Amino acid sequence: MKMQQFLQFLTQQFISWRRQYKGLRRKGKLIRSPKGKIHRRELLRTTVKNVFLFLSKTNEKSNRRKQERALKSKAKSVKTKSSIYAVGLDWAHEQRSSVILAIAVVSLTGIIGHKLYNQTQLQVGHPAPQTITAPYTASIEDQKKTEAERKAVSNRSLQMLRVDAGMNEQINENLQQLLDDGNEIRAVAGAFPFFDPVVLSISTQRYLRSCPDSEWQALLVAIENTKNQQKKGTGRTAASSRPSSIAAPNQSRQPRTTPTPVRSTGGKYARGWLPKSDSQSPQVKPQKTEPVDFSQNTGFTQAVAELESYRATTSEKNLSSLIAQISQVRPRYTQATAKLLQLETVSPEVVYEESLLLDLLDEEWEKTKMGIHQSSERILTQGIPQGLPKNILEDAVSLQLQTFVPEDAETLAKKLLLAVLKPNLQTDEEQTRQNAQKAAAGVPPVMVEVRYGEVIVNKGEQITAWNFQVLEHYHLIRREIKWQELVNLGGVIAIAIGIFVWVERHIDYELRQRDRILVLLLTLSVPGVITIGLPYTTWSALGLLLGSFYGPTLGLTIVGLLLPILGISLDMSKAALLAGVGGGILGSYIAQRLRSREELALLGVAIALTQGGIYLVVKILIGQAFGSTWYIVLKEAGLFALSGLGWSVVALGLSPYLEKVFDLVTPIRLAELANPNRPLLKRLATETPGTFQHTLFVATLAEAAAKKLGCNVELVRAGTLYHDIGKMHDPLGFIENQMGRPNKHDTEIKDPWKSAEIIKKHVTEGLVMARKHLLPTAIQAFIPEHQGTMLIAYFHHQAQQMAQSDPSLTVDDADFRYDGPIPQSRETGIVMLADSCEAALRSLEASAKLLGEKRSFKDVSTEQALTMLNNILRSKWQDNQLVDSGLTREEMSKIAQIFVDVWQQFHHKRIAYPKLKASSAVRNL
């Protein structure tokens, strides 16, 4: 019987404790009440008393005693475990802040200092503490020799080259420019051949347009003499006449041993031979001159012979026409040669010197240009490496030109190509590295046999890399945890956490324990990702989430504290560290200012560009972005930018879930909760239209006051919209929803105690609805706190009147007061004041309408509204409803004035239209 009482009492006590614990936890505080201490003492006394009773009446021979002893033992065990659990739970909640801080220090130290767990006692370069021998025979790889051989093979591997498209484009542009210059010079000289090669051979045409002016004049005289001789009947034809000496004007006889060429033996055009002009008429009269012998000039004699032959086969008129055409060609040729000289003056490396540019036929020139392009394309496709000997390139060019260019143009084409061709092959670093790695991977490891009992290292000798490798193979390396370094790291982290706590206490946002846990988890993600070997860590997600949840100050503090700790403790690229920190700082600073998911997505793009840009700038500053590795640096910068964008996307995806799990309110979530299409708000507008209109006006008043006082406007707006959702449990129980119908409290209930219960129930039912729809705790707080522990004055007055007429009735103020709590924040305090003043302002509006004929609306609102609101706010202050809200007495007057200003904006004065008689009104219609 006593055991049954004991177990029953124990069960009831646990139920009571559990309810008390849940209630206190919902309020956000866990306070150890004196009543709880009395209960625990009573439990302990009862337990001890039952134990003594069972021990004093023990009978080993009685089965009943055995059963009772078993029950007693079980009850004692339950009592002990439950007491330990309760005491441990109370202690954990009392010291929960310290526990979380300790967990933060341990976890951060454990992850950041992960390399300190498995450190070896025996190290390379240190003396051996004792002589160590091989415990068994084994074949061990000599990693140093293996690495040396693989490195040698890697160095001997061929470099992989790639064609530089930019260089090819530049070479083609230069080549085309040279060919355009050649086209321009040939265009000045005119078409070639300029006459039928059957009549005048190609060599003669070359001579006729390029010979000196003196030879041209002599040639005309020779033709004229031949004509005169034929008229005198010498009997010799022009074709058979071969004068041994021909007189030229103003010339002395000079023997010539060589024919007149197109270019001099020195390789350049014979400038002394170029005629200044050719203005003389083809028909030149002989003059008295000293004779000059041109008989040795084969070009001269061949030209005279072919012209005389042409005269013999055709008319004299046709010959004169041909001579006139030659006279026109010669000046153009002179201009073309002058153009060549000008081109040589402008560019010292002129490729057309000593060439046959003007001597090529038009058809040959076109073939030459096409052949040059084809040869250039082939050579560039095959590639020209750096350091290629000049003679090899010349041989390659000659070999290509033999196929595509006429023989007479090979020299010209060769000079053109050699002038523009440059090395167009560059080393492909990535392909070369892969090729070297592949070659190195094919080298087998160098194995060394170590026999049983062989001395690995003697006592006092320095441990070499090979000794260390052998000891590691035999698992003879003694490993230990570097406690001293871990303690030092833990001290640094503890200092950083101390700075964080100091910052936390000086910001407006008060962190809960769950907030501290979330901050810890987000902070651990950065070194955690680095620990698993990924350099693209979660800086952007950390900054974006911390800034969005807790504001820029806390986010910047976390990022700033992590920077030196990770920079000192972990082996990671400083460029990567600074790039990540830059993205985290940007996310922390801007995230809370944004009001939509789309803006957060754009912030993710900005974070990505910031991380990539910082990485590239750091690499440029330290000089690693130049040389052959520039494209690797550029690729890494792009990867850091992509990682910043990727982690930002992850943060955006996790944000709604974290807000739900950790009960967070962000500006974006508050904006979503304030959407009138939310289920609760749609029900409120449909089922309780009067309450919904009341809510909108209260929200307008509260928002204006919150904005003026620097409070969280988004939180005030969302919280106000949900503060009266509990009225949906009985809409007609509230006068704003009765729409002129009889008041049920006067016609049906007629009991102020029951009416007060209905009114109070809108708070409890509102909390039930809020929890059912998973509203944040910060929004739920507006439901009870906007009423605080205020007195339901109307029904309290009715109860007092009934008590006066019926002495058997007792009025307890607690029956007519809300359960509270009173406002715990400035935001809920503002909503309480707005809710209290809204009804007064509406009643003042009604009275103003009644007095509208006698007094102006402006005078009524200005005189009465401010006085009435100040009285209401003063009563709330005197009733101690705002002692925990953080609002000051000075702010009460500001709030009252703000409410009056907003009310006047809603109910401004309108024009008084004149009253019309009914008949006039009908006529107007």
Length of the chain measured in residues: 925
pLDDT of residue 412: 85
- Sequence-distant (6+) residues with CB within 8 A of 591 are 543, 544, 545, 546, 547, 548, 552, 555, 600, 603
pLDDT of residue 911: 53
pLDDT of residue 68: 52
Rounded Cα–Cα distance for residues 580 and 647 (Å): 11
Residue 198 pLDDT exceeds 70:
yes
DSSP 292: E
Residue 901 pLDDT exceeds 80:
yes
Residue 631 pLDDT exceeds 60:
yes
- How would residue 239 be classed by pLDDT, with cut points 50, 70 and 90? very low
Short-list 140, 189, 788, CA closest to 474? 140
Q: How far is CA 402 from the centre of its chain?
A: 57
Average pLDDT over residues 550-565: 91
Most confident of the ranges 9-13, 157-161, 291-295, 754-758:
754-758
Region of poorest pLDDT, from 188-202, 277-291, 312-326: 277-291
Identity of residue 267 = G
Residue 821 pLDDT exceeds 70:
yes
Identity of residue 538 = T
Residue reference for tokens 């830059």: 582
pLDDT of residue 62: 47
CB atoms < 10 A from the CB of 517, how many? 15
- How would residue 457 be classed by pLDDT, with cut points 50, 70 and 90? confident
Rounded Cα–Cα distance for residues 351 and 466 (Å): 65
Residue 790 pLDDT exceeds 80:
yes
Rounded Cα–Cα distance for residues 282 and 217 (Å): 9
- Sequence-distant (6+) residues with CB within 8 A of 215 are 260, 294, 297, 300
Rounded Cα–Cα distance for residues 224 and 211 (Å): 19
- Sequence-distant (6+) residues with CB within 8 A of 481 are 116, 117, 118, 119
Residue 921 pLDDT exceeds 70:
no
What does the mean pLDDT of the chain come to? Answer: 77
pLDDT of residue 166: 86
pLDDT of residue 706: 92
SS3 738: coil
Short-list 253, 227, 247, CA closest to 287? 247
Residue 618 pLDDT exceeds 80:
yes
- How would residue 276 be classed by pLDDT, with cut points 50, 70 and 90? very low
If phi over 0 gives left and psi between -120 and 50 gives alpha, with beta otherwise, what is residue 369? alpha
User: Using alpha carbons only, what angle is made at residue 238 by residues 237 and 242, rounded to the nearest 5 degrees?
Assistant: 105
pLDDT of residue 6: 52
Average pLDDT over residues 486-497: 90
Short-list 410, 417, 372, 368, CA closest to 390? 417
| pLDDT, tens digit (0-9, with 9 covering 90-100), for 3-56 | 555 555 555 555 555 555 545 444 444 434 444 445 455 545 555 554 444 444
Region of poorest pLDDT, from 19-33, 454-468, 480-494, 829-843: 19-33
Q: Could you tell me which residue, 838 or 673, shows the higher pLDDT? A: 673
Rounded Cα–Cα distance for residues 177 and 549 (Å): 65
Residue 586 pLDDT exceeds 90:
yes
Region of poorest pLDDT, from 258-272, 349-363, 463-477, 549-563: 258-272
User: Using alpha carbons only, what angle is made at residue 259 by residues 253 and 261, rounded to the nearest 5 degrees?
Assistant: 125
- Sequence-distant (6+) residues with CB within 8 A of 318 are 310
Region of poorest pLDDT, from 578-587, 620-629, 825-834, 915-924: 915-924
pLDDT of residue 233: 59
Short-list 720, 708, 688, CA closest to 837? 720
**Inter-axis angle of helices 713-722 and 826-850, to 10 degrees?**
60
Short-list 772, 797, 799, 798, CA closest to 783? 772
Phi, psi for 405 (deg, rounded to 5): -120, 140
Query: Which helix or strand (DSSP H or E) is residue 132 part of?
Result: strand 132-133
Cβ-contact 828, 781 below 8 angstroms: yes
pLDDT of residue 441: 82
Residue 924 pLDDT exceeds 50:
no
Short-list 566, 570, 467, CA closest to 523? 566
- How would residue 231 be classed by pLDDT, with cut points 50, 70 and 90? low
The two three-digit tokens of residue 536, written as one number:
């693209």
- How would residue 605 be classed by pLDDT, with cut points 50, 70 and 90? very high
Cβ-contact 429, 635 below 8 angstroms: no
Q: Could you tell me which residue, 119 or 899, shows the higher pLDDT? A: 899
pLDDT of residue 16: 57
If phi over 0 gives left and psi between -120 and 50 gives alpha, with beta otherwise, what is residue 383? left
| pLDDT, tens digit (0-9, with 9 covering 90-100), for 355-411 | 578 888 888 889 988 998 998 888 888 888 888 888 888 888 888 888 888 888 888
| pLDDT, tens digit (0-9, with 9 covering 90-100), for 290-308 | 455 566 678 888 888 888 8
pLDDT of residue 541: 92
| pLDDT, tens digit (0-9, with 9 covering 90-100), for 508-528 | 777 888 889 999 999 999 998
SS3 642: helix
pLDDT of residue 403: 84
pLDDT of residue 642: 92
SS3 301: helix
Q: Where are the alpha helices (DSSP H) in 442-551?
A: 465-473, 483-505, 513-531, 539-550
- How would residue 812 be classed by pLDDT, with cut points 50, 70 and 90? confident
Report the predicted TM-score, pTM, of the whole model to 2 decimal places.
0.56
DSSP 247: E
Cβ-contact 526, 651 below 8 angstroms: no
Rounded Cα–Cα distance for residues 874 and 892 (Å): 8
* End-to-end Cα, the chain, rounded Å: 93
Residue 672 pLDDT exceeds 60:
yes
| pLDDT, tens digit (0-9, with 9 covering 90-100), for 125-151 | 778 888 888 888 888 888 888 888 888
The two three-digit tokens of residue 694, written as one number:
């009341």
Rounded Cα–Cα distance for residues 236 and 302 (Å): 18
pLDDT of residue 621: 84
Cα-based distances in Å from 205 to 200, 211, 267 = 6, 10, 21
- How would residue 634 be classed by pLDDT, with cut points 50, 70 and 90? confident
